[in-house]
Amino acid sequence: MEYETMGGEEIPKIGLGTWRMEGGTCRDAVSTALDLGYRHIDTAQAYGNEREVGQAIEHSDVDRDDVFLTTKVWPMHRKRTDIVNSVNESLTKLGTEYVDLLLIHWPNPLASTGEVMRTLSDLQNDGLTRHIGVSNFGVEQLEEARNEATVDVFTDQLQFHPFNPQEELLEYCQENDVLLTAYSPLAHGGAMHDHVLTELGKKYDKTPAQVALRWVTQQEKVVTIPKSTSEEHLKQNLDVFDFELTETEMALIARPSRLRTGLSMVRGRLGR
């Protein structure tokens, strides 16, 4: 495993995302991931699986303090009282006294960014979370969030893959010491049949998905949370740190495409 250092601590470059995982499937996937060596688990209020994630962590042989656990506040909770109550509910479901990272899941145009970020900041100061951040915020929104928070904004979690490399936001994060957490790094399967990733996979004896994950993890100040319920794929997703892409290959892989990004989002909504 490789790590990204942020705020004085090391974050595993690869974690497990749990979007659209439910019930026993979610619990089993998280349990398997922890057994395989994953120590970075991501969930959210909107996913409806915080209880299962918490159960998997509780019943594993891994100490809670060794797991970097993230959850996200549903953006409709836009007032201080609603945010605080929802976070306490999340902690109860997760069976933990704190999370390592608490995010606002999406920007809400009806919400006061100041109220939201100051509330998250207070929750960090009160010990309910170790770090705070945002998800799906653009550069200007992230800048505003950082200005309104009274503690450091740790990360912006957003879709990031070879067809949506987020150059402007990545540069902003790198310049301002903000972690970029990449979800959907395989473009909801779009990376699997890409010709560039396939050819590079042949060179390095890796799958196209592994090449895509290596492209993500070689980026400075970037970590990623691919989703998988398959033990084989969970293993493969971790097995990407024994080769290194050249600068030329990194540039070849990054091909911004609104079409392929749009198709990725459609596949995601269809659960593919």
pLDDT of 270 strictly over 90: no
pLDDT value, residue 259: 54
Query: Which position among 47, 172, 183, 204 bears the catalytic label?
Result: 47
Q: Which of 243, 182, 248, 180 has the alpha carbon at shortest distance from 210?
A: 243
Decide if 47 is catalytic: yes
**Interatomic CA distance for residues 267 and 237, integer angstroms:** 20
Q: Which domains are delineated in the chain?
A: 10-267 (3.20.20.100)
Let me know: does 24 contact 51? Beta carbons within 8 Å: no
pTM over 0.85? The answer is yes
Q: Which amino acid is at 148?
A: E
Helix axis angle, 195-204 relative to 208-217, nearest 10°?
A: 90
Question: Any bridge partners for residue 164, and if so which?
Answer: 161
pLDDT tens figures, 115-169: 999 999 999 999 999 999 999 999 999 999 999 999 999 999 999 999 999 999 9
Let me know: does 29 contact 229? Beta carbons within 8 Å: yes
